[in-house]
Structure 1
Amino acid sequence: MSNQVAVDEVLDALGDRTRRQIVERLRRGAMPVGELAEELPVGRPGVSKHLRVLEGAGLVVHQSVGTRNLYALAPEGFTTLQQWLVGAWDQTLAAFADRVAEKEGQVGEE
């Protein structure tokens, strides 16, 4: 999978408010679906579907503990997003610096 495809999947997954709420709750630590569903406006089946999308994007992992599935954040998925954001920011700052240098050159010519 190319890095851009991975970034697209991460951004698509985080584009949904409920999935962002799940990610926020998982920042506290691993949780079962039922516990996540208690705090969200969707039921357990809906939370499970959202978790599958987050897992498919590499943002969440699950571990079976007895009869429960515990879900936790997967740092690797967020690293992909962080690298993309840093690259975009660096490119934007470089373009800004080029534009400032261009304007300074124009002022010096006058």
Structure 2
Amino acid sequence: MFPPSWLDTERVAHYRTEIEKGGTPTAVALSVLDVKGPAWLDESGTIPPYTEHWCLAHYLLDGHHKMYAASLLQKPIHLLAFIALDECIMESPDDVATLLTAI
């Protein structure tokens, strides 16, 4: 996302220690779901199944130090994602429900 040198090394060390102790910090993101498709038509000119492209993008608002510490340790952390429904590109809000059942 940006160079690690832009992060506060003391804060990264703090979260690294917390994660090593078994803690699981939470980062916060604003998320957008884009459903694009169909990607192509088959030889008969019809839409084959599973041709949509689903992209769930997370824009990290808080948690850059937590994410970097977790990546250094290759450990998971929590992500609290708020989906901006008005900014999503999808056929209906039901797509979000489908997404949530798939995660």
Q: Give me the TM-score of the superposition, normalised by structure 2.
A: 0.27
**With CA pairs under 8 Å and 6+ residues apart, which has the higher RCO, 1 or 2?**
2
Higher helix share: 1
Flag the structure with larger Rg.
1
Higher strand share: 2
